[in-house]
Each structure stands twice: as structure tokens, then as C-alpha cells.
Amino acid sequence: MPKPPKRFSNSNTPLPARPHFGDAGSAPKRKKREDSIGLPGNVEVVEEIPELIAFSELGLSEPIARAVSEVGFEAPTPIQARAIPILLAGHDLMGLAQTGTGKTAAFALPLLQRMDPDMRGVTQALVMAPTRELAVQVAAGILKLGKYTGLRVVPVYGGQPIDRQIRALRAGAEIVVGTPGRLQDHLRRGSLSLDNIKVCILDEADEMLALGFLEDMETILGALPETRQLAFFSATMPPRIGQLTKRFLKDAKLVSIESKRRTVDTTNQTYYEVPRGKKLEALARVLDMETPGPTIVFCRTRQETNDVAEALRLRGHNADPIHGDMNQMERDRVLKRFREGQSDLLVATDVAARGLDIDSVTHVINYDIPWDVEQYIHRVGRTGRAGRKGDAITLVEGRERRLLLSLERMIGAPIKPARIPTAADIAARRREVFRDSLVEVLEARNYEGHLSMVEELGESYDPAEVAAAALHMFWQSQHSSAAEVAEEVAADREQPESGMTRLFIGLGRQDGLRPGDIVGAITNEAGLEGKAIGAIDILDRTAFVEVPSHESENVIGALRRTKLRGRKPKIGPAHG
């Protein structure tokens, strides 16, 4: 049974008269200690958390809860379930969690909620991040979750002209996300003030130290108002983080996502390292290569299950999404199709896959890396059932490597690296599968009725040539050539010009599609001028067109309403 949720008062509670964690309801187990990892005595370790808490129980305000629901998060991740109540209650926090665990939303949601709506345009929150890439990513994450709050988020980092950032800051930003060096620059120039900071977050604190930002961090932390709330997030706890914690955190709680060691042994576990933004491509290739039986692909959000299932269908798989937003009838229908073999891929969120028990599942694919070992075990446990050996495959983007290593450590078994198959590997694999099915037909003598034609042709041609010609015809009707596959893969990867978005059209040369058809449809149906349309690539079975990003939804909508060459092809953003 889930424990009853704990309610916390939030936001504008004056500090330091903070409500005490766990005041309402039963208090979590806690203790103060000089930790073996060098944790100072001013940090209280929170070891137990409410299990299975729902977002609706966290006490998020309506505009924030609406955005959470819109991005499709179904349930808080472990670090969120632990950190959000503590931060909402106004405590300082030390969070031990790495990228991929959902740590950004863990601090972004309470941060958004603590902003004072009467102080528009005044900088009230500061997030420090080690790199430009992370700063931009965090700012985008906060913006998405804060969509309905009207709060402005400005990222500042080295490498971008400072004037542009100064203008953005002058225009008023309640939330500033930046690298320590550039933040210092702005403080020196007076383009940023810390006087009204209510919340300050250090993201990837250990990385910032490793990059030599200690001095900048200390200066900024030392200049914050007394009453600010402070949270550090870090994947590791080197002694210098302990020192910072001791010096700056007050009445703080420590939460971590470490859990008990667990084992899985009926499953082959591999991972593929995937370049950023290339997961769909990698998934498609892995599926082509593995030719698995019934497979469950795990995604994080509802939207992702829909997108991935749709993309797989476009590539000829029978894939169905399943997530918590579908009603019972829809879910039952999808599960029935899967059980009966009418679909071979179930693209699921964790919530939807809870308790799913299908013995025949041969593969579990983690499209997104699980946040912790519990989730990994739970997902992987959907395969290798009834004494069979299953396969568990995890797709990992560069930054998530660390999380993978800690998963590996927790399960005490290696997750073996594998190389993403190339187009040539896949073509070779297809030939192999084709050959195997041919042998099956030969062994079963399943060709009666066709022998007479071969005999007849055998009078004029070598029977081996007759067989080869028949194979050629069949192969042509079944597959694109390896060259075409490679061409499509390459085109799908093309990066559009800046300000432009690349769209995918599920129709190509073979269907008689020409550039004029695309231009005609876009100018007539979406009202764009011809010169606004960018590069057009027409391949054998698919096509790509670049349109201005701000018009992309308009164009997709218009193209979906109309016909191209008498057909209604799939239209959507290309997966760059």
C-alpha cells in the first residue's frame, strides 16, 4: 500500500522560520551524522521516502501541474519524489543524483512554485551549471515546466556575445541559468543582481569543481541574500562538495537515489551508446538487426510512446503505444493485440507496463535509460520469464553513461556494450533472414504448384537462373536496397539550416512525387510563399522538406489535410 502523502506548505513561507519536513503525518526516518563520505553535521540524511507518490499529491500549483501533465510525466522519479517535498517546504538540500534521473524537474518544479508573482521582472532564482550545453538544457526544461506561469528564464554562458545576454537580462528575467564564469561577468558589469534571489541551485556541482569553478561558485554563493534557499545537486560527493555544503547550506536535508543491490540473471544485458538525438534511428536499426519476437520498448513519457510507436509504424513495424492516459478499454485492446501476436512491439511507459505479465516477450528495450536500479529491474523483469532467456537492451546517450555505470554496479553484473549496426550490417542480416526462410520452404517442400513453371522455363534457361530471377522479384517487392536504406538514413540525419525545420513525407520518387507537388501543396494549403520553402530532398520512398520553424506546425497541419499524388502520406518532423 502506498503511504499516505505528506502535505507541505509551500512557496512564500518566510525563511528561516521553515515548516519542518514531515510535520504533517508520520515523519520520515532521519538522522544526523558525520557521514563516511564527509558529510558535515549540518545535513540531515533522509533515508525513507513516501513510495509511489503521485504528482497530484506533491502540492504543485495548478499552472505547474498543468505543464507537468502536458509534458507527459506520469509519476515522479525517485529523486523527484524525495526532493520536491523538501524543497517546497523551504529546506536547503543536497541531492545526490546524476543526469538521467529527472533531477532537473526535481529542482525546477519547486523553484517555479517559490517565485513571487508580485515581483515580475526581478531575478529571484539562480541556477549554476557547469557547461553551456547543460545551462541551455536546464533553461529549456524550466521554461517548459513553467510554461503557464509566465516566468521568464534566461540562460547565460561563455561563448555567446555578452551584449545579447545583457539585453535579455535587462528585459527582465525571474530565473537566470548560467555557467559560474559568465554569471560572475554579469555581476561585475551590474547586469545581474543577486539582491532578490530566493532560490539558488548548483547543478552538477562536482562537475563545476572539476572544471575549476570553485572560486566563482564561492563568490556567488557568498553574495546571496541570507534568506535564500539553496540546493546542491551532484552525482558524487567529493570532500570539497562536503566543505561547500558545510559552509553554505543551512538546516539541510540529503537525499540520494542509491538503493539496495539487486540481481537479474535470466537476461542478456547490452547497451548501445547513441549520439544525441539519434535514438529513433538507433532503435530502428537495433530492431532490424535483432529481428526480435514480442518486444516491449520502454519510454519515459506518454508523448514519447506515441512518437516512437508512430515512427516504428512508419518503418513497417506493428507497434502500439500504451500509457496511463489511455482508458481501460483502449489498454485492453492494445494488450490483446500484443498477446495474440497482431502487434509485435509494445511502446510503454512504466506506469502502463506495471504488472504486465507476458511470457513470450523476448526483448525489453530501454529507449530511455531507467532512473534507478529498481526501475531497471522492473523493466528487465518483463522478459526472460518462465525459464526463458530474454534480452535487455538499453540505449544510452553520452551524458547518461554515468547512470549506466552505477546501474551496472548496483546489479553487480556487466551490461555489455554493443555497436549500433550499420546499414550494411542490416542488409546482410536481411539476406540471412531471407535465406533462412527460403531454406524453411525448401525443407517443407512448400513449393508444389510452382515446379511445373520452373520445368517449363528450364527448357530455355538454366534452373539456377530461374531461381535467382524469382528471388530477385521477391526481394524487390519486400525490401529497399541497402543503398536506398543508407540514402534514407543519411537524409534523415541532415541538419536543417538554422531557423528551419526539416519535415518528413512518407512518399517518394517511386510514388511519382516531385518537388513541384510539395511546393504546390505548401503554398496552396499552408499559405507560404514559394521562396520561404527550403531544401527539398526526394528519395525513393520518402521525401524531406525544410520550412521555417515557426511555420512548421502550420505546414504539417495543412499537408495532413491535403493529398499528395492522390494519397495521404505520413507527415511529421524529421528525426534529426
**All three cell numbers of 542:** 520518402
Tell me how far the alpha carbon of residue 315 is from its chain's centroid.
21
Least Å distance, CB 204 to ligand AMP, is: 10
Cβ atoms 9, 89 nearer than 8 A: yes
Tell me how far the alpha carbon of residue 151 is from its chain's centroid.
24
- Partner residues linked to 178 by β-bridges: 128, 156
Closer by beta carbon to ligand AMP, 339 or else 402 = 402
Closer by beta carbon to ligand AMP, 99 or else 295 = 99
Element (H, E) at 182: helix 180-189
Amino acid symbol at 474: F
- Minimal CA–CA distance to 178: which of 202, 197, 199? 202
Least Å distance, CB 415 to ligand AMP, is: 19
Cβ-proximal residues to 370 (8 Å cutoff; 6+ apart), any chain? 298, 376, 379, 394, 407
Least Å distance, CB 138 to ligand AMP, is: 8
Least Å distance, CB 348 to ligand AMP, is: 13
Distance, in Å, from the CA atom of 560 to the CA atom of 553, rounded to the nearest integer, reads: 10
**All three cell numbers of 240:** 570539497
Least Å distance, CB 137 to ligand AMP, is: 7
Subset of 154-213 contacting ligand AMP (CB under 6 A):
none
Least Å distance, CB 323 to ligand AMP, is: 11
Residue from 59, 100, 180, 292 binding ligand AMP (CB under 6 A): 100
Cβ atoms 547, 497 nearer than 8 A: no
Least Å distance, CB 69 to ligand AMP, is: 11
Using rule CB under 6 A, residue 77 touches ligand AMP: yes
Least Å distance, CB 75 to ligand AMP, is: 6
Distance, in Å, from the CA atom of 158 to the CA atom of 142, rounded to the nearest integer, reads: 20
Element (H, E) at 423: helix 423-443
- Minimal CA–CA distance to 168: which of 129, 127, 123? 123
3-state secondary structure of 555: helix
3-state secondary structure of 400: helix
Least Å distance, CB 400 to ligand AMP, is: 8
Closer by beta carbon to ligand AMP, 76 or else 146 = 76
Closer by beta carbon to ligand AMP, 109 or else 192 = 109
Distance, in Å, from the CA atom of 366 to the CA atom of 297, rounded to the nearest integer, reads: 6
Torsion sign over Cα 530, 536, 542, 547? negative
Cβ atoms 10, 3 nearer than 8 A: no
Residue from 103, 182, 279, 323 binding ligand AMP (CB under 6 A): 103
Distance separating the N- and C-terminal Cα atoms of the chain: 43
- Minimal CA–CA distance to 85: which of 140, 9, 27? 9
Three-point CA angle 17, 22, 26, nearest 5°: 150
Closer by beta carbon to ligand AMP, 184 or else 234 = 234
Residue from 99, 113, 123, 375 binding ligand AMP (CB under 6 A): 99
Closer by beta carbon to ligand AMP, 50 or else 102 = 102
Closer by beta carbon to ligand AMP, 80 or else 165 = 80
Residue from 101, 113, 123, 394 binding ligand AMP (CB under 6 A): 101
Subset of 212-231 contacting ligand AMP (CB under 6 A):
none
* Placement of cell 527460403 in the chain: 438
Cβ atoms 21, 86 nearer than 8 A: yes
Residue from 22, 50, 59, 76 binding ligand AMP (CB under 6 A): 76
Subset of 355-384 contacting ligand AMP (CB under 6 A):
none
Closer by beta carbon to ligand AMP, 59 or else 100 = 100
Subset of 56-75 contacting ligand AMP (CB under 6 A):
73
Closer by beta carbon to ligand AMP, 19 or else 63 = 63
DSSP 496-519: PPTTEEEEEES--GGGT--HHHHH
Distance, in Å, from the CA atom of 146 to the CA atom of 108, rounded to the nearest integer, reads: 8
Closer by beta carbon to ligand AMP, 80 or else 295 = 80
Cβ atoms 528, 471 nearer than 8 A: no
Stretch of residues binding ligand AMP (CB under 6 A), selected from 86-94, 95-103, 272-280, 449-457: 95-103
Cβ-proximal residues to 319 (8 Å cutoff; 6+ apart), any chain? 297, 308, 309, 312, 313, 343, 344, 345, 346, 347
Binding track, positions 245-284, relative to ligand AMP; x by CB under 6 A: ----------------------------------------
Torsion sign over Cα 498, 504, 509, 513? negative
Closer by beta carbon to ligand AMP, 140 or else 470 = 140
Closer by beta carbon to ligand AMP, 95 or else 508 = 95
Binding track, positions 292-311, relative to ligand AMP; x by CB under 6 A: --------xx----------
Closer by beta carbon to ligand AMP, 11 or else 301 = 301
Stretch of residues binding ligand AMP (CB under 6 A), selected from 101-109, 172-180, 219-227, 245-253: 101-109
Number of chain residues interacting with ligand AMP (CB under 6 A): 13
Residue from 89, 105, 111, 112 binding ligand AMP (CB under 6 A): 105
Closer by beta carbon to ligand AMP, 107 or else 248 = 107
Cβ atoms 30, 44 nearer than 8 A: yes
Least Å distance, CB 562 to ligand AMP, is: 34
Least Å distance, CB 516 to ligand AMP, is: 40
Footprint of ligand AMP on this chain (CB under 6 A)? 73, 76-77, 80, 99-105, 300-301
